Every structure is written in structure tokens, then in C-alpha cells.
Amino acid sequence: MPKRELLAQFHHLFWVGDLNYRINWQPDEDTKLAHKDNCDPEIFGAFQSHLNEKTLKNVLKDDQLVTSMIDLKAFVGFREPDLRFLPTFKVEKTPGLHYNVCYTYAHICTYVFYSKQFRCLLKFIQPSRLPAWCDRILYRSAAIVNPPKVLSYSALPNVPHSDHKPVESHMNIEIWNRPSGIDDSISQAVLHFQDCSAEGLLAADVSGFFLFWVLVFVCWNLLFLFFGSFSGTSDPYLHWPKQPLLEKPSNSRRKNKTLHPEWNDSRDFEPLLLLRNSIAFMTKALLFLEMRDHDHLSKDELIGQGYLPLAPALDNIGKWQYFEVELTFSGLYAGKFQGRYKIVINDESSKTDDNKAAKKIKKSKVKTT
């Protein structure tokens, strides 16, 4: 199986660790923080006096991770449990939240030869680091499953082994027994698409005005190839890669020189024959998809990935249902793919009567549950 991004592989994904995001806090509009690791003592003191459990929401508005997630610049589709504890960095290696300062190599040597009382004196002459929430817990869930139920999200201030205080979260996660993918009472399941489009795609091609004219003089016969390859747009098409759910990979028709392609013709998408036809299996299944850019001169480029849940189409078998898929590329927002789809299921007795097949599937669904 080809490698895929983490965001397109799992029903639940957790991201835990030191993300090293800081706080862009300032006491007023005229006072700006020069550097996150070189904070003026007055600003450091003002922040500490301002920081308490009642003001956390206001302070979190300036948190770099929160603003990055809102602006879709990082961790697209992820959530964080409600944060209700004080910043966990940078602190003394002692029990409790005692916010620390930067120490240079010279001061570390001084600490070796002098007493702890002198170390306390150094705090008043060293630049202070503005406290921040560096260690975080994030999670992302597919649309067809219930997100984890967060029971707690807290820090452990009494752990003294680092200048970061660890954080923990307790969650309940929905699990299910994986059913068989094949139902012998169903001959085939076919997925159809209609009125599909994409928007906000990445521009895979770059502007090459100078190179364009060089190529005109070098090889006039190949001009049309390079004209499309440096237009500042993409030649997108949808690719269904090899995966357990499909009988074979498939591509849509290519749309040239656009970041907002539309596939309105019934011939733009071939019907996808599903290799797994069990209704219980497909209810939790995710169909992986890739948005690619066609390149005349090199290998086609990947410009977005996502997954399409089949559960909405199974609620009304044989009827068109609207879908919307958020695309990501290297963890960043890469556009949106949307349209209508339906699943047509034929049983052995009547391959054209979808209603009879739907009734039969509903009965099998009751038995499996």
C-alpha cells in the first residue's frame, strides 16, 4: 500500500508533546514584547499579576497555537480540550509553578561555585521568559465517529524533573468490533458521483515568465507544454489510490489551468466498484482520495489529501447525498472537495431494484448489531 499522511489514515489521531508555541501577550497596544526569551522585567511582572484562572480565556486569545489553528495555519481539523490550567513553561525544577528565567553559560558556572542564595539574586538581573503553554494534547476524529469524550485536561505542577510541567488528559473513546467486509447476499456495491467541484486548491505551478520566452526561442514546437506548466495555477484531477475498499485505483477527468475545477459531466467520474460490500463494514469505512496536479514535464504532484465517509450514502441507499471533504497537504489546509454521491447495491435476485436491496441490507444491519 502507498504511504499516506497521518491525517488520512485513522478514525482518531492524537498529537501529544512539546509544541513550543508561546504567547503574543502585551499589557497594552503601545508596549510590545521584543523577544519571547528576553522579556522586560516589568512586562514579566505585569503578566504574572494579570495571569490567574479567571483571566485564562483572555490570555489564550494571544496563544500562538490557538491563533494558528483558527487561521488554518497548523493542525487543521484538530481540537484541544478546554485548557483551564496555568502555563507550564518555563518553571523551576521544584514542586509547584515557580516561573523561571534564562541562564547563560557564565551564570551556570557561577551557580556551581556560589550558593543558592546568589542564584536567587541572578533572577533579578537576567531576562525573563514569558510563561507559556508549550506542552499540549490535541486530537482529531473522522466525521463518522463520535469524538473522544474529554474527562479531564490538567497539568502536574508537583513533578520537579524539568523546566516543563507535564500535562495529562483522560478521555473515553468509542470502539467497535470490525465486521466482515464481505456480505454473500450482495453481489456488488457501486459508488457514483455527480456535480462535483473543488475550491481553494494549491497552485502547483509557478510563474516562469523569463523561462517561458527562453523556451519559445529554444523549441517552438514544445511551446504549448511549457505554457501550461508555468501558469501559476494547477491542472487538477482526483485520484482514488489503491486501497482495501476499492477493486482498482481510478482517476477523474483532468481540468486544466484552474484552482476551482468542476466535474459536472457524468463521464468525469467512473463509477467505483467497492471491493467491500458489507453494510456494517462500510458504515465505518473511509475512502481515501488524493487531489493531484498533472505535469507535462515531470511526475504528477500531490496537492491535497482527504477521506470520504460512506455512512451518509448508506442512510439512503440509491439516493444522491451531499458530501464535503476538507483537503490537507503536509498538515496544512489545501482546499475543499464537494459534490453528491450515492451507493447502488444489487442483490442476487434483482440487480436493478435498489429498494429491495436496501431492505435486505437493513435486516442484515440489525442482525450484525
Q: What is the pLDDT along the chain (369 residues), one digit of tens a residue?
A: 456 677 777 899 999 999 999 888 776 666 655 455 556 666 777 777 777 767 788 888 889 999 999 998 899 889 999 999 999 998 888 999 888 655 444 445 555 555 555 555 554 445 567 889 999 999 999 888 899 999 999 999 999 989 899 999 999 998 888 888 888 888 889 999 999 999 999 886 543 433 444 444 445 444 444 444 445 678 999 999 999 899 999 999 999 999 999 999 888 999 999 999 899 999 999 999 999 999 887 889 999 999 999 999 999 999 999 999 999 988 889 999 999 999 998 744 334 444 544 555 455 555 554
- Do residues 197 and 269 both lie within one domain? yes
CATH of the domain at 314: 2.60.40.150
Residue 31: what pLDDT?
A: 60
Q: What is the dihedral of CA 151, 153, 156, 161, to 10 degrees?
A: 120
Residue 350: what pLDDT?
A: 36
- Do residues 277 and 354 both lie within one domain? yes
- Do residues 196 and 272 both lie within one domain? yes
- Do residues 98 and 191 both lie within one domain? no
- Do residues 199 and 317 both lie within one domain? yes
Residue 357: what pLDDT?
A: 46
- Do residues 13 and 144 both lie within one domain? yes
Residues 120 and 100 sit within 8 Å (Cβ to Cβ): no
- Do residues 150 and 238 both lie within one domain? no
Residue 31 forms part of a structural domain: yes
List of long-range contacts for 178-181, beta carbons under 8 Å, 24+ apart? 178/281, 178/284, 179/278, 179/280, 179/281, 179/368, 180/278, 180/280, 180/281, 181/244, 181/275, 181/276, 181/277, 181/278, 181/281
Residue 119 forms part of a structural domain: yes
Residue 104: what pLDDT?
A: 45
Residue 150: what pLDDT?
A: 96
Residue 40 belongs to domain spanning: 6-172
Domains held by the chain: number? 2
Residue 348: what pLDDT?
A: 40
31-52 burial: b if 16+ Cβ within 10 Å, else e: eebeeeeebeeebbebbeeebe
- Do residues 259 and 156 both lie within one domain? no
Residue 210 forms part of a structural domain: no
- Do residues 34 and 123 both lie within one domain? yes
Residue 79: what pLDDT?
A: 95
- Do residues 123 and 245 both lie within one domain? no
CATH of the domain at 157: 3.60.10.10
- Do residues 167 and 193 both lie within one domain? no
- Do residues 285 and 142 both lie within one domain? no
Residue 7: what pLDDT?
A: 76
